[in-house]
Structure 1
Amino acid sequence: MQNSTTTIGVPLPATLLESISPLLQGPTATSTSASPLPNARAATSGDGSTHANVTRTASPSERLWDRAYDDLKEKEPALLDEYERILSHNLQKDRGASTEPEHQANNICQSDPDERRHQMEQLVYTGLDKTAPEAKMKEGMSRTMGPVLIARDIISSAIGMLANPIKATETNRQGVEYVIKNMNWYCSLFSSLLQESTDDARELSEVRYQLENQIVDLYKVLLTYQIKSVYSYYRHRGLEFLRDIVKLDDWDGNLKAIRDAEKRFELHRKAYTGERIVANLRSQNDGQSKRDEQSKEDEEKKKDEQCLRDLRATDSRHDKTRIEQAKGGILRESCRWILDSPQLKQWQDGPEGTLLWISADPGKGKTMLLCGILDELKKSTGCGFVSFFFCQATDSRINSATAVLRGLIYLLADQHPSLASHLRKQYDSAGKALFEDANSWVALSEIFGNILRDPSLEMTCLVVDALDECIIDLRKLLKLIIDTSSPPSRIKWLLTSRNEVLIKQELGSAKKLIRLNLELQENAKLVSQAVDDYIDDKLPRTRALQDNSLRDEVRDILRQKANGTFLWAAFVIQELESPESLKPLQVVSDVPEGLVHLYDRMVDQIQQRKASISEVCKLMLSIATVAYRPLHLSEIGSLCGVSKDIVKETDYLSDEARATFFSSQEKTHQDIYIRSLELMSDTLKRDMYSLNEPGFPIDKVQVPTNDPLETSRYSCVYWIDHLCNSLSDKSIKEDRYLQDGGAVHVFLQEQYLYWLEALSLCRSMSEGAASVAKLESLLKTRTDASRLLELVHDAYRFIMYHKVAIETSPLQAYASALVFSPVRSLIRSYFKQETPKGITVHSSLSDEWSACLQTLEGHGSSVSAVAFSQDGSLLASGSLDRTVRIWDAATGALQQTLHGHGQYVGAVAFSSDSSKLLASGSQDTTIRVWDVATGELLFTLCGHSSSVLAVAFSQDRDGSMLASGSRDNTVRVWDAAKGTLKHTLEGHSEGVLAVAFSRVGDGPKLASGSWDSTVRVLDATKGTLLHTLDALIDTVACNPSQVSAVAFPNEPLDEQYLRSDLSVENEWLVFKGKPVLRLPHEYISFAGDDVVAVCNNNIAVGCYSGYVLIIKVDL
């Protein structure tokens, strides 16, 4: 027999030896990891000792194995004690000790599960080495007795007892082999099943607990089998043979117990696996939901960022930095007095809704004082958010009420991103146009109000500098400031401006107004001291004033003459810093006091310069006085032919006493338009921004760093305005530029399409269309420009017909505009070389322009009502999309979009003064009265019980009365100024389709037409019936059973007023019963002549497609 200590010589298959370890040790880390951890016993020395510093954390499977061993030891202490003494004895024999088994002490370390598993491994290897020869002998006997066992009739208990030792050893070893072969699978399965996961659902905890109990039970059965096997291996082998015969160890029963435990475990494993699959699916679903939610958040964040990019016209933080740098930085000493002023402290410490107004004349340093206040507010803990804006009259980006709102909202949303949700509600459907179209003030005011009411918004300081330089819609801005400072309010306003009457009047109504007037005596002294501080700070850094005594003398003179005006001091110090200023004392002695006298001196200095320089300066100043908007440096330089700074004090320059200094305005306008033609001819060409793609949208166009339009942008928009203003009644007929073959004629022939592209890039297509209309009107007075007039007329039809396509995608000027123009269009023929290659229109094109002048796009559904203003300048349209739109009838530019009705709009009408009021009637049973100029809702008139089908204003000068007809069979007369009901007129048996006021007679009369085929004429003032008339056949617009249009003639009242001259029948526009124009399918009107309006030679048709068609015909 081999020495028991030589474990490596056990004659077992290698695969069996490799598999024994997991059974004897219990589970190890190698069973659950692709990169096995080192076995804790791998550091065992030759004497069986271990290195104490090798430690690791037990896996879940090992933990349960140890729990099973401890439970078994508690349940069968004798068996476990015997096992451990055998283990101790054999381990000591391996170390050379020779204690008798019956006297062997239990030396197993109970506190170290890893050590215990290792000891078991040592013992089983040795035991298997011992039993190998005996197993071979039993294997031979088994082969001899096999046939006997198979014969059923000769089986007897004696033979069975003799077979037991053979079977037992085989069964025992086969059982051990069975367990060994499945042990790796057990370990991997248990570890996988019991792997901790933070994603497991809470409901798995109970199922996991039951499964762990089954694993422990299985481990206990396996351990029992193993321990009994060890006990069998190490007992006296003769006695062991006897135990086999008398079935002292039931290996079959033990193996069956293992398989029964496996079955129980398998049932629980399936239950746990099913629950875990459900939990995993739920976890995956939750994970996907979280990913979807995160993706949605990311997408919303991107949309918020795009919304803010479109909102941003300027970042006031950058404006503040620019202003400070331009003015030499903030001098803290000059600001200290205002930071300590009682008015500012009162505003800071006062309740929400407090408004502080700092006012002063020009040049007092208001802006720089405000910059100092802003710096202090940022440091203050008492002010939650600070949003501010700097107005500047000479910068079109920041000189309007809308620009102020955009700037304030942008800074608020940038500091508090959640506020962007208020923008997104309207931005998602309107896009960038929300901030730029004619309704931007209305939309932004609503958004601003919602932001200020947001419960998450802390107390906020809103600061606006130079209110007087808000030259567009200042009154609107002041009203909004007053409204938002009224309680309840969580904001404080801080404003600066000049001492202007309008601002004083409007702000005077504020309930918590604090005013700080820098002109008051007590404040003027403080301002003068601040100016002195400014002078003291600047002079030591002036190169010409390094001598202390000279500097002190100059300082005293400057202090005396400055009169507390920062701007005056800045001008003079700038002159002292000039290299030409060699005698500083003489400079300050000669300079006059006050800004006006200083400007006079500058003019005198210009006149004293060389003629060439003087003329350029005069031209620059002349241009500045007549320009339609503030000019950029590059623009005025290009118009003058040099690059000079811009003079901003246009009030001073326009003074009559100084007018002789400049060229006449007509001459200046002429110089500008002539120079503009030269600039445009030199700079305009196809695809100036290298867009390349014909469909490249204007919303994605970015102005290149080297902007080709930098010097000619102003000229592109305003050259025709300057041309028109350069001509008197006499010079119109004499201007050689306007004759056939003149400069204007040549420009249109050679540059017209490039000019249209430039207008689109400048976002000024509507202005361009209006300019061409002006030019056409101007040319009608000339007799030597017939060919030019013909070209301008064609150019006008071209821009009106294709305006939408070109302003949407600039390069469509060369694509759809050319392709779909009439064959005999002059513009098409002059630019045929620009037609896109490879595109052919197979349907026939007309030779001449159609009667359709322009198509207005914007409504989202069918147009159900149209009306011209009395002077024909405006057109209103109502739609199934529940909106009313107001258009410029000449250019097609959208002026207002009015929201508010809850159902479709079926009637619209302007007041008699054209530009004051607009009424709209709707299926929601209400009439809304709007301010045409601002888009503001003035009244909502309620009273009808069904759809409003017609509205009309009285024909007096201010349209004092408003009539409405309804499907409820009544006519109501309202006070248009107060929004109150005057009369309810009954009598019609069916819905009222039309109402109209008279212009003549002793008092205003009102006619109403109905589905009941009658017309009722009433006294509008008294509300009494005057006549009831039956409709004439030729009065009917669409159906002889109804009256859908009524009107009063200028002559005395008779039945002929019933005639309706214009209608839409089927696909034809009908005038006086005769079809005059067949309409394409997409232009078919929504409901007959209810959506037709006439003004002069223009006809507006509301279309089923949502378009408004303007047709020009000679009726």
Structure 2
Amino acid sequence: MPSHGMDNGRPPGHQYQNPYIGPGARAHLGDTYNIGLDNPLSRLSYAEDASFNAYSKQHEPTCLPDTRVDLLQKIYDWAEGQDERCVFWLNGLAGTGKSTISRTVARTFNERKRLGASFFFSRGGGDLSHAGRFVTSIAVQLAHNVPAFHQHICKAITEHNDINVQSLRDQWHQLVLRPLSKVERTSTVSVYVLIVDALDECDDDKNFRIIVSLFAEARSLKTVGLRLFLTSRPEIPIRNGFYELPEAEHEELVLHNISLSIVDHDISVFLEHNLKVIREERALDAGWPGKEVIKYLVQSANGLFIWAATACRFIREGKRFAKRRLASILQGSSTSTVGPEEHLNEIYVTVLRKSIYAEYTREEKEEVYSALRLILGSVVTLFSPLSVDSLRTLLGDPTEDVNETLNDLHAILDIPENRTLPLRLHHPSFRDFLLDKSRCGDPNFWVEEKQAHQTLADSCMRLMSTSLKQDICGVGTPGAFVADLERSRVDQCLPAEVQYGCLYWIQHLQKSGIQLYNHDQTHQFLKEHFLHWLEVLSWMGKVSEGMHAITSLESVALASDCSDLYKFVHDMKRFALYSRPAIEQAPLQVYCSALVFAPTRSIVKKQFKEQASRWIRRLPAVEKEWNALLQTLEGHNDTVRAVAFSPDGKLLASGSDDNTVRLWDAGSGTPLQTLKGHSYMVWAVAFSLDGKLLASSSYDNTVRLWDAGLGVLLQTLKGHSGKVMAMAFSPDSKLLASDSDNTIRLWDAGSGVLLQKLKGHCSKVMAVAFSPDSKLLASGSYNAVRFRDAGPGVVLLQTLKGHSYRVWAVAFSPDSKLLASSSDNTIRLWDAGPGAPLQMLKGHSYMVWAIAFSPDGKLLASSSDDNTVRLWDAGSGVLLQTLKGYSSKVLAVAFSPDSKLLASGSDNTIRLWDAGSGVLLQTLKGHSSEVMAVAFSPDNKLLASGSKDSTVRLWDVNSDAPLQMLKRHSFTFGALTFSPNGKLLASSSKYDTVQLWDTSSNTLLQTLKGHSSTVTAIAFSPDNKLLASGSLNNIIRFWDASSGILLQTRQGHNNSSLVRAIAFSSDGKLLAYGSGDNTVWLWDTGSSAILRMLKGYSDTVMAVAFSPDSKLLASGSDNTIRLWDAGSGAPLQTLKGHSYMVWAVAFSPDGQLLASSSGDNIIRLWDTSSGALLQTLEVSTLIKTVIKSLSFSYDSTSLQTNSGSFPILTTFSDSAAIPQLQLPPSILVQNQWVSCHGERILWLPLEHRPSSCALYGSTVAFGNASGKVTIIGFAS
């Protein structure tokens, strides 16, 4: 049946050859895909060898004429007829010819311009062995084969930048179904065929169901028809996937059930054709081999085309000994009464024995046997195919050894003439044969699978040890993104065998079953190359796989009882999980951010301290040990309200105010799917106990039921008239309870039918839970918990009272003996039998939103409005841990099934904590709430920080040590000011006071009282003697800075306006302040007399500044800056150009320049004498936060701002053209990154990201929402 292509022309394919042809383009040989880098298709990661006509498949056979006639016609009729079944499943046993049929069908429809795409799975075939690039490969081919589809898929790619990492379902919808649905209808509906071969060779059988279900969705297309032809062995997971589809939606044909006489006829035609080719090539007798021999060979094949194909290849490769090889087959074949598998075993043994020449000595034969076992054992246990050259390099063998060994094995191996192309098995049945001792029979050839894996593991480590190094791709820039580096550069720096070793060495180690030891080869490799390995995985885009590999290695180390190695690997896991967001996007951050922010006692940090970045001269203070936080999952666009683990612990679901439910890989943190459908915030999520269903409830008054594995929406449960706040599955997964509008509703979880509506609560029901023994149903409402019998009738048993406010959460202990409920800042524990109160757990300072028992019953977790999660001993009620770090209320908590992980949800993120380690959270001694302001002292030795936690703190800039916590007022508005000599610190309060602190003794000197409204601005006089403070009600007060005595009080003309800015002149004689009444006021500081009120603005004056000689005053407001004569108050210039409110102004040290910043995030430089605009600094593309502070460097070469230090021109031409610079700042702190001169250099973990910032030179300090203050000094 198969016909082997023997033409000399180059067939079409998908193999890139020397892909880099110039800037912005890659040449694709075969179907001639030329995808420029400006084409959105170039952004898709796809499997180049997936299609039927890929270059690597050019010699694969198709069906011969007069074979498979009826079968092929049946397929063609299905594809081109009116059959409504859009899926055709051809299944058959190994070796029955499925792939040959697929190639034939694909080639036929390709010639008819009806082939949409094809994907040929291959176990051990790299990208072809898993579904990671399945949909993207289909989409790329569709874009080229269906012209009208191209524009729609390009638009989809542009709209979804992260499409490469989305779930299969999301990719299918965004890249295939939706673009196809937008193709306009033509006069005749076009039908295209998708072909998927060998689905059973996809590694993860969980994807079988998903792919089958995706195919069935093609029936929804109206303007374009899509037919899906799929082949596989009849594996149970695939069969189950088809069982879930109605019979009316798919056609099934079992290949091995076709009449044996038909199959024998086709095999006979195949043998006659191929033996004729051999006869003509070798000029053999015209009658060779004869009808009787062919008949005997047909009987020996026993219905397996792979037997016939292997026999023909074996005979042909014998060349002048073709007759002799045929004879050896005839001698080695059993009678037809032996089963098909035995016949296949015989042909494989025959081929292998013929590779051992009779004239070899015994020692030579043993050497060849050993080489065969090594090389074939490696080929059949590789997780992804390698070329002959790559395999040779990996095994460390001389070229001739590998080449000589493979020379006589073309009958079972596809060995390309081009040694750089992958070496593959002709058929996966050879792998099964070689690894099965009972099938192989001959011990000289049998490969012991564990030993083969150990050999490959050792080879991988040996190769990596000699190949890996820091910055292996030579990019040189610590913040370089993976996406910015050409794939060809990565492949050049990381040969295929090195990439293979990095990706699979731990899998081979695990499969080998080897006993690990402290300081063995594995341990030594990790101590030398762990960071290099992580870097390589990032360049490869395989960080997620690396996370799973580390977890596997941790299990092996634990089982091997080697404590030192286990501790090292466990620290590796913590290190990688914590820094994953940085490493995944910028590989070299493994030597920067990952090492910088790891705890001081981290084993990895101490091991690789010499590889840390040298350009960080002053490291930030970090914790001593890893705390309970494992990783932070970012992806939601709004508050996370709900989290839940699947029963097997592999999935994590989260619900958010962004109206979505997201599914995550709980082990690696990889986002899997985004479930859309709710029209309002998602309040709760829950898995059924059998793991099949996921429920979500929403403020849109509905509950939605999803297939937890596929992410498919199954049911939308409607009926509630209000927001659905909570729901729970019964332990048998048959019932779902949901609460809202003073009622609880019970639903049939399978059908979605409403079974019962429970009334009794007098206010909105906020919480509901079944007891694990299915006997009780608890619900929480205003100040009460109700117990119901969960049996038939759902009878109310009792009402538990004690809470003084709304009950937000209820939860049963795993043994059903305890009930926990949360409200009014407390958790109450009840005896679930009689309902008696047992304990009240106090500790939270605000509302407790969520509670959860660990599955082992030992812990109780609670989350609160106080931005913390607390862990309690469920038996004693003792508080064990307080988990901090959130910037807002924590709304959800959930334990993993093994009680080891705790998930919590809050500020757009989900955090995973180690619940079982018992490690206390060791937060730097700092603020407990968001840091609103930070400021350097004039000598830059001290840093002051003010926080929402009502404290001001002083820090030693050189050591990061908090010198003093300055309490006793509530810091809110961010007014922190040092005196010019640095001896005093003034801080303002929302409670109308100003506090003066001695910075040397860290003591409070004075609390300045008198304001009747919040203090909004403060400033010291140049001689340190006066302090001026302004408030919301437009009052200025002058204080003696040493005694704290109030000297003067002055009221502006409008007491409903606030004081926004205050400045003393350099000689200390004048004070100016900008007001909310659109004016600037000038005061004589000696007499406190009001000199004049400067008018002209139409909006609040946000900034004022005096020139160094005190002669000029600059003020900023309604998109303009005004220059005034400070002595007379006369207006001199109005500087226009800004398009938004002016926030800051500053004079250069010589007074010749004035800088201004605005809400348009453009800094402008002006000539103070002429008012001419000299320069604009376009910083809007770099900075998202508004620049609200400005100052010149001492030499006027740069501007210091609250977000960065920006270089400026030092000379200006007389040209009329105004320089518009986009010069990057020397130091810039922006959300996740610190940049230097426009290049990203340091990624900031979530808890270190700035909410306020101060810079001096190359030292940056920032406070953040978690209360931390971070100080980092960079090399000049």
Match of 2:536 in 1: 758
Match of 2:777 in 1: 1006
Instruction: Give secondary structure in 2 for the equivalent of 1:761.
Output: helix
Match of 1:546 in 2: 283
CA 1:310/1:823 → structure 2, altered by over 3 Å: closer, same or farther?
same
Match of 1:683 in 2: 467
Instruction: Give secondary structure in 2 for the equivalent of 1:619.
Output: helix
**Greater strand fraction, Structure 1 or Structure 2:** 2
Shift of 1:1030: 0.8
How far apart in 1 are the matches of 2:84 and 2:190?
A: 7
CA 1:571/1:1080 → structure 2, altered by over 3 Å: closer, same or farther?
same
Aligned-pair RMSD on alpha carbons? 4.1
Picking from 945, 961, 965, the partner of 2:739 is 965
Match of 1:929 in 2: 705
Picking from 242, 259, 267, the partner of 1:528 is 267
CA 1:351/1:406 → structure 2, altered by over 3 Å: closer, same or farther?
same
CA 1:900/1:749 → structure 2, altered by over 3 Å: closer, same or farther?
same
How far apart in 2 are the matches of 1:345 and 1:887?
A: 42
Retained in 2: the 8 A contact 1:1070–1:1077? Answer: yes
Match of 2:1112 in 1: none
1:1025 counterpart = 2:796: yes
How far apart in 2 are the matches of 1:554 and 1:893?
A: 61
How far apart in 2 are the matches of 1:876 and 1:324?
A: 41
Identity, % of aligned positions: 28
Picking from 618, 634, 642, the partner of 1:857 is 634
Q: What's the TM-score once normalised by structure 2's chain length?
A: 0.56
1:612 counterpart = 2:367: yes
CA 1:726/1:1101 → structure 2, altered by over 3 Å: closer, same or farther?
same
Instruction: Give secondary structure in 2 for the equivalent of 1:833.
Output: helix
CA 1:441/1:1045 → structure 2, altered by over 3 Å: closer, same or farther?
farther
Shift of 1:896: 3.1
Picking from 541, 546, 551, the partner of 1:768 is 546
- Provide the aligned length of Structure 1 versus Structure 2: 788
Picking from 477, 483, 495, the partner of 1:693 is 477
How far apart in 1 are the matches of 2:35 and 2:349?
A: 55
1:1101 counterpart = 2:830: no
Instruction: Give secondary structure in 1 for the equivalent of 2:622.
Output: coil
Picking from 331, 334, 349, the partner of 1:600 is 349
How far apart in 1 are the matches of 2:373 and 2:473?
A: 34
Retained in 2: the 8 A contact 1:1006–1:1017? Answer: yes
Deviations 1:704-738 (A, max 9, x none): 454524213333233334334434xxx74xx4xx2
Shift of 1:828: 1.9
How far apart in 1 are the matches of 2:72 and 2:51?
A: 27
Name the aligned partner's letter for residue 310 of structure 2: F
Which runs of 5 or more structure 2 residues have no equivalent in the other structure? 1-33, 334-342, 358-363, 407-422, 810-820, 842-850, 852-859, 921-1276
Match of 1:325 in 2: 58
Match of 2:499 in 1: 713
Match of 1:413 in 2: 143
How far apart in 1 are the matches of 2:275 and 2:896?
A: 71
How far apart in 1 are the matches of 2:101 and 2:895?
A: 57
Farther-moved stretch of structure 1 (1054-1063 vs 523-532): 1054-1063
How far apart in 2 are the matches of 1:899 and 1:591?
A: 60
Deviations 1:459-518 (A, max 9, x none): 223141534545343343334445535897853636363663767865992468485958
Farther-moved stretch of structure 1 (590-599 vs 918-927): 590-599
1:1066 counterpart = 2:866: yes
How far apart in 1 are the matches of 2:90 and 2:871?
A: 63
Instruction: Give secondary structure in 2 for the equivalent of 1:1031.
Output: strand
Picking from 720, 729, 733, the partner of 1:953 is 729
Instruction: Give secondary structure in 2 for the equivalent of 1:891.
Output: coil
Q: What's the TM-score once normalised by structure 1's chain length?
A: 0.63
Picking from 166, 172, 177, the partner of 1:444 is 172
Shift of 1:979: 1.9
Picking from 791, 799, 804, the partner of 2:576 is 799
Shift of 1:815: 1.5
Match of 1:672 in 2: 456
| Bigger Rg, which one | 1
Match of 1:313 in 2: 46
Match of 2:1095 in 1: none
How far apart in 1 are the matches of 2:564 and 2:217?
A: 57
Retained in 1: the 8 A contact 2:62–2:103? Answer: yes
How far apart in 2 are the matches of 1:1020 and 1:962?
A: 12
How far apart in 2 are the matches of 1:959 and 1:1110?
A: 28
Shift of 1:1017: 0.9
Instruction: Give secondary structure in 2 for the equivalent of 1:591.
Output: helix
Q: Give the alignment of 1:340-355 within 5 angstroms.
A: 341=73, 344=76, 348=80, 350=82
CA 1:596/1:855 → structure 2, altered by over 3 Å: closer, same or farther?
same
CA 1:1007/1:375 → structure 2, altered by over 3 Å: closer, same or farther?
closer
Match of 1:988 in 2: 761
Shift of 1:700: 3.6
Q: Give the alignment of 1:60-139 within 5 angstroms.
A: none
Retained in 2: the 8 A contact 1:337–1:526? Answer: no
1:744 counterpart = 2:744: no
Shift of 1:341: 4.6
How far apart in 2 are the matches of 1:725 and 1:360?
A: 29
Deviations 1:994-1048 (A, max 9, x none): 2111134xx52111112x1110111223232111111357997899965997888
Instruction: Give secondary structure in 2 for the equivalent of 1:589.
Output: helix
CA 1:460/1:840 → structure 2, altered by over 3 Å: closer, same or farther?
farther
Q: Give the alignment of 1:626-637 within 5 angstroms.
A: 626-628=381-383, 636-637=391-392
Match of 1:500 in 2: 234
1:847 counterpart = 2:629: no
How far apart in 2 are the matches of 1:951 and 1:448?
A: 35
CA 1:486/1:830 → structure 2, altered by over 3 Å: closer, same or farther?
closer
Name the aligned partner's letter for residue 212 of structure 2: L
Deviations 1:328-351 (A, max 9, x none): x76874679579957645754556
Name the aligned partner's letter for residue 598 of structure 1: I
CA 1:311/1:770 → structure 2, altered by over 3 Å: closer, same or farther?
closer
Shift of 1:761: 2.6
Shift of 1:424: 5.6
Instruction: Give secondary structure in 1 for the equivalent of 2:766.
Output: strand
Match of 2:190 in 1: 459
CA 1:421/1:1075 → structure 2, altered by over 3 Å: closer, same or farther?
farther
How far apart in 1 are the matches of 2:646 and 2:739?
A: 20
Deviations 1:119-140 (A, max 9, x none): xxxxxxxxxxxxxxxxxxxxxx
Instruction: Give secondary structure in 1 for the equivalent of 2:460.
Output: helix
Retained in 1: the 8 A contact 2:664–2:673? Answer: yes
Name the aligned partner's letter for residue 434 of structure 1: I
Retained in 2: the 8 A contact 1:442–1:936? Answer: no
How far apart in 2 are the matches of 1:485 and 1:1044?
A: 54
Instruction: Give secondary structure in 2 for the equivalent of 1:898.
Output: strand
Which runs of 5 or more structure 1 residues have no equivalent in the other structure? 1-300
Retained in 1: the 8 A contact 2:901–2:912? Answer: no
Match of 2:752 in 1: 979
How far apart in 2 are the matches of 1:897 and 1:693?
A: 34
Shift of 1:961: 1.9
Match of 2:838 in 1: 1056
Deviations 1:209-250 (A, max 9, x none): xxxxxxxxxxxxxxxxxxxxxxxxxxxxxxxxxxxxxxxxxx
Retained in 2: the 8 A contact 1:1018–1:1026? Answer: yes
Match of 1:827 in 2: 604
Retained in 1: the 8 A contact 2:278–2:316? Answer: no
Instruction: Give secondary structure in 2 for the equivalent of 1:711.
Output: helix
Farther-moved stretch of structure 1 (713-722 vs 798-807): 713-722
Retained in 2: the 8 A contact 1:854–1:1111? Answer: no
Farther-moved stretch of structure 1 (760-769 vs 1091-1100): 1091-1100
Q: Give the alignment of 1:558-569 within 5 angstroms.
A: 558=294, 560-562=296-298, 563=301, 567-569=306-308
